[in-house]
Amino acid sequence: MISCVGCQRTPEQIPIYVMSAVEDGVEPDVWVSYNEGTYNTETGRFACDECYIDMGQPGLEEGWTA
């Protein structure tokens, strides 16, 4: 199951992902897997915007994933 590493919510529980998914005509978890830069394909985890900011916006030159 795809979920945030911080708040443990799924994409379906996060309004911005639901709205973005509706606009693109896909399910929220599909939207996150294709569009969320912090999404880790190996673990199915990501950091929602709120948690990513709370973490201090970690980053690496090659990109950061949860």
| pLDDT tens column, 3-57 | 999 999 999 999 999 999 999 999 999 999 999 989 999 999 999 999 988 988 7
User: How many angstroms separate the CA atoms of 12 and 3, rounded?
Assistant: 9
- Size of the chain, expressed as the number of residues it contains: 66
- Per-residue buried b or exposed e for 29-56, using 16+ beta carbons within 10 Å of the residue's own CB: bebbbeebebbeeeeebbbbeebbeeee
The whole domain housing 29 covers: 3-54
Task: Give the model's confidence band at 65: pLDDT under 50 very low, under 70 low, under 90 confident, else very high.
Answer: low
18/28 Cα distance (integer angstroms): 5
Decide if 63 is inside a domain: no
Q: How many domains, the chain? A: 1
| pLDDT at residue number 1 | 87
Whether 64 is in a domain gets the answer no
Taking the model in full, what pTM does it have?
A: 0.84
